[in-house]
Amino acid sequence: MKKLIYSVSIMLLLAIASFAQKSTADRTDPNFRFEIKFTRDGKIIRGKAQEIAGLGEDARPDGDGKFRGYWNVTLRNAVFTSNDNINLLLPPSDLSAKVSPANIIIRLVDEAGKTAMVWMLKDAFVRETTGGVSNQNTISWDRFEIRYKDIEVLDVTEFDEQNPGQ
């Protein structure tokens, strides 16, 4: 069993390393796009932007009363695709709303629509967006900053099987 866990861990590390070794040009290639989905308790969050985004504090107490910090991540030229028409062009007043964090799933998609990598940011919230441009189904930003408590790399194969056509 330990050998299996060890080999799976090595395979995951190699997959992440090979992705990380790609040049910046490859990862910012317009043929790749980021899709971002907001979930809470396993369900896609529907509603107004102030219900799913907010600044919050740099650290919050967990259930055990200990404070654990949040980290920042910035996606350059990120694309948010929403079938639920969630409005994320946030005016400054919405950014200061006190809200519950959500899980944010970020999927890197190639030009053929295949998933290249999937991350889940746990207990996350949108901290800042700049340069937002939208059309009927897509919002794109020059800068999209998220704060989150923990990150998990999801299995691409399982994600595609559970989310066909997404």
Model pTM score: 0.49
- pLDDT, tens digit, for every residue of 74-85? 555 565 554 443
> What Å distances lie between residue 116 and 29, 91, 101, CA to CA?
13, 32, 26
- pLDDT, tens digit, for every residue of 2-50? 443 433 444 444 444 444 444 333 334 445 555 666 666 666 654 433 3
| pLDDT confidence band for 112 (50 / 70 / 90) | confident
CB count in 10 Å sphere of residue 110: 13
Distance CA 58, CA 125 (A): 12
Q: For the chain, report the end-to-end CA distance as a whole number of angstroms.
A: 34
Contacts of 65 (CB under 8 A, 6+ apart): none
The residues with which 122 forms a beta bridge, in sequence order, are: 150
Contacts of 122 (CB under 8 A, 6+ apart): 103, 148, 149, 150, 151, 152
Q: Is residue 43 classed as helix, strand or coil in its secondary structure?
A: strand
Q: Is residue 45 classed as helix, strand or coil in its secondary structure?
A: coil
The amino acid occupying position 110 is D
Name the strand (E) or helix (H) holding 56.
none
What percent of the chain has a predicted confidence (pLDDT) above 70?
A: 21
Give the closest residue to 38 by CA, choosing from 122, 137, 143, 94. 122
How many Cα atoms sit within 13 Å of 118 on the Cβ side? 17
Q: Does position 118 have pLDDT exceeding 70, yes or no?
A: yes
